[in-house]
A and B are shown apart, each in its own frame.
Chain A
Amino acid sequence: MPIAPSAAILDAWHVFSAAAEIGPGPYRSTLLLDTRLDYRRGTNGEVEVRRRDTGAALLVIERYGFAWTSLGSPPDDLFSIPEFYEPDRKNMSCGSLGVNVSAPRAVENFLDMGHFPYVHTGILGEEPHTEVKEYDVEISYERDEILATRCRFYQPRAALSADEGQDVEYIYRVPHPYCSVLYKSCPADESRLDVIGIFCQPMTEETIRAHLLQSMIDDENTITAMRRFQQTIFGQDKPILENQYPKRLPLDPRAETPIRADKSAIAYRRWLSQKGVNYGVIPQAA
């Protein structure tokens, strides 16, 4: 029997498809929070979504190349990624990939730098350069998001446009319990940042579709090549995520063993606890 998501999840916007993959014609189907949805693009060009169990039509917005809906009463708009609208960026979906893991585990992995040398060997990290240097994390109550700054890591090949190793700077945002956005040094233009987003669609507590966004400054490479790069990275994370136990993210600080490098993960778990998130997590015992 699936659990009922608390308001923090029920009333949030959730991604359910890349916008470009929704066409007119027969309804397509997906699962969100254990609820079967059917969706299509209507004749007026608007995306239509309805619950299969009640037939109720749901609200839809399209943002950052993806379609979002809600099973409750969502806020007026989704979190903002202003860079997406800069005219010279190449924006793309890198696919919506199903993974047998909870959404919070996938987000936490996205925030993690320590695994680069072991999981993304030769690309985002390489032994012996394994150190996670001190960085800053804050929970911004005003904007209701987590911000990790001054993150630096040695990377042999930080992006497709990088051809030599460098210390790469990262900024991480967690503006949504199941979404994270990172900004990293752009090899093509030192003054700007590439943007990569992971938006997790919680199908059930322990299965997701991870929708991947890239918003890049890169005049040289094709969309296909840039997608391939991001899919390679995510494909490397996948077996790790699917071998994590328990699959739901434990919020009890004593469930696992954090180290200094996990500051952002610690903040993320605390933030989920404070928001009362109960779906895809093992809540802290009262």
Chain B
Amino acid sequence: MITLYDFELSGNCYKLRLMMSILGVRYDIVPVDFYPGREHKSDWFLKLNPFGELPVLVDDGLVLRDSQAILVYLARKYDTTGKWFPVDDPALTAEIEIWHDFANRITGTASAARLTITMNYDFDLEKAQSGAHQLFRTMDEHLWFAEREGREWLCKADHPTTADIACFPYTALSEEGGISRQDYPAIRRWLDRVRRIEGFTAMSGVFPASRAREAS
């Protein structure tokens, strides 16, 4: 059985809830009082993850940290289609990793801005916001040309991958960090597409999309 050490308002925790919801994997939640309790810095939690960071996922005694690493683990272990983290195409695997890294950069900027405004963290807000805008410009351009080439997702595949799951939460939550997405229409369309993936689940701050095209 899987246990997720989880904070509802964390985008990195949400990545895993989203992935497991899409894959239809059952799991238990242990709520961690990240704020205001700072329980992720408590002794019991530091034993689980010495970095004192959420999320942590325990599967049958195996303790994992780092949301992107856990995404890869879940996809490799539980995705019977092999599509969420394909390993038979080296170029595609590398491309997914590039976007996993991009997701970390979004966390370093958009999530930092959100923590500053929402939970009174002491980051440089302006720097975090402008950093996020730079990333979003790159991402919007990438997605716009992907659409021109007939693709809907971040990587060169006709289906979503863990890259889309990794980049989704803090992009979708950016406005809580004062980062408007008005200038990124291709990102806004991609957010709609992710929200229409079968098995999608929302979190506080992310609403579900309207229904996609009906089968007719």
Closest CB in chain B relative to A106 CB, distance in Å: 14
Do the beta carbons of A224 and B36 come within 8 Å of each other? Answer: no
Q: Known: A97-B118, A100-B178, A209-B120. Is A232-B31 also a contact (CB below 8 A)?
A: no
Of the candidates B37, B175, B204, the one whose C-beta lies within 8 Å of that of A242 is: B175
B39 at the interface (CB under 8 A from A): yes
The CA of A98 and the CA of B125, in the complex, are separated in Å by 13
Q: A98-B117, A100-B117, A231-B204 are in contact. Are A242 and B176 (CB under 8 A)?
A: yes
Q: Does A225 contact B (CB under 8 A)?
A: yes
The answer, among A95, A233, A238, A242, for a CB contact under 8 Å with B35, is A95
A236 to B8, CA, bound (A): 11
Interface of B is mostly: loop
Contact assessment for A239 and B36 in the assembled complex, using a CB-CB cutoff below 8 Å: no
Interfacial residues, chain A to chain B (CB-CB below 8 A): 18, 20-21, 93-100, 209, 222-225, 227-228, 231-236, 238-239, 242-243
Between-chain CB contacts (< 8 Å), 13 pairs: A21-B36, A95-B119, A98-B120, A100-B117, A209-B120, A224-B32, A224-B39, A227-B33, A228-B8, A232-B9, A238-B176, A238-B204, A242-B176
* Known interface pairs A96-B120, A100-B178, A242-B175; A235-B9 also in contact (CB < 8 Å): yes
B36 near A235: Cβ-Cβ < 8 Å: no
CA A168 to CA B31, docked complex, whole Å: 26
Residues of chain A within 8 A (CB-CB) of B120 are 96, 98, 209
Chain B residues in 8 Å Cβ range of A21:
36
* Cα-based distance from A212 to B95 in the complex (angstroms): 43
Which B residues touch A243, using CB under 8 A?
175
Least CB distance, A98 to chain B, in whole angstroms: 5
Whole-angstrom distance between the alpha carbons of A181 and B203 in the complex?
25
Known: A97-B118, A231-B8. A224 touches B37 (CB 8 A): yes
* Closest B residue by C-beta to A242: B175
Which residues from B are CB-within-8-Å of A223?
33, 37
Q: When each residue 32-46 of chain B gets 1 if its CB lies under 8 Å from chain A and 0 otherwise, what string results? A: 110111010000000
Chain A residues with Cβ below 8 Å from B117 are 98-100
B8 contacts across to A, CB distance below 8 A: 228, 231-232, 235
* In contact, B37 and A227 (Cβ under 8 angstroms): yes
Chain B residues lying within 8 Å of A20, measured Cβ to Cβ, are 36
For chain B residues 8-35, which have a beta carbon within 8 Å of chain A?
8-9, 31-33, 35
A224, B33: Cβ atoms under 8 Å?
A: yes
Residues on the A chain within 8 Å of B39, using CB: 224
Q: Which residues of A contact B9 (CB under 8 A)?
A: 231-232, 235
Q: CA A243 – CA B8 in complex, angstroms? A: 21
Near A by CB (< 8 A), chain B positions 167-216 give 175-176, 178, 203-207
Which of B7, B31, B119, B204 contacts A98 (CB under 8 A)? B119
The answer to whether A96 and B32 have CB atoms under 8 Å apart is: no
How long is the Cα–Cα vector from A4 to B175 in the complex, in angstroms? Answer: 29
Instruction: Give the CA-CA distance A135 to B1 in the complex, in Å.
Output: 47
Instruction: Say how far A201's CB is from chain B's closest CB, in angstroms.
Output: 11
A21, A97, A232: most-surrounded residue (chain B CB, <10 A): A97
Question: Do residues B31 and A236 form an inter-chain contact, with CB atoms below 8 A?
Answer: no
Residue from A94, A209, A224, A236 in contact with B204 in the complex, judged by beta carbons closer than 8 Å: A236
Contacts A100-B178, A224-B33, A224-B39; A239 near B207 (Cβ below 8 A): yes
In the assembled complex, the CB of A181 is this many whole angstroms from the nearest CB of chain B, namely 20
Chain B residue at smallest Cβ distance from A210: B118
- 8 Å CB contacts to A: which residues of B136-188? 175-176, 178
Is B204 a contact partner of A235 (Cβ separation < 8 A)?
Answer: yes
- Cα distance A140–B32 when bound, in Å? 42
- A232 close to B204 (CB less than 8 A): yes
Which B residues touch A18, using CB under 8 A?
Answer: 36
Residues on B with C-beta less than 8 A from A98 are: 117-120
Question: What residue of chain B has the Cβ atom nearest to residue A240's Cβ?
Answer: B207
Residue of A nearest to B202 (CB): A121
How far, in whole Å, are A227 and B36 apart by their CA atoms in the complex? 9
Q: Which residue of A lies closest to B172 (CB)?
A: A239
Q: How far is the CA of A242 from the CA of B205 in the complex (A)?
A: 10
CA distance A93 to B39 in the complex (A): 15
Q: A224-B32, A225-B31, A239-B206 are in contact. List 8 more A-B contacts (CB 8 A).
A: A21-B36, A95-B35, A232-B8, A233-B204, A235-B8, A238-B176, A239-B176, A239-B207
Provide the residues of chain A in CB contact with B31, threshold 8 Å.
222, 224-225, 228
| A76 nearest CB across to chain B (Å) | 29
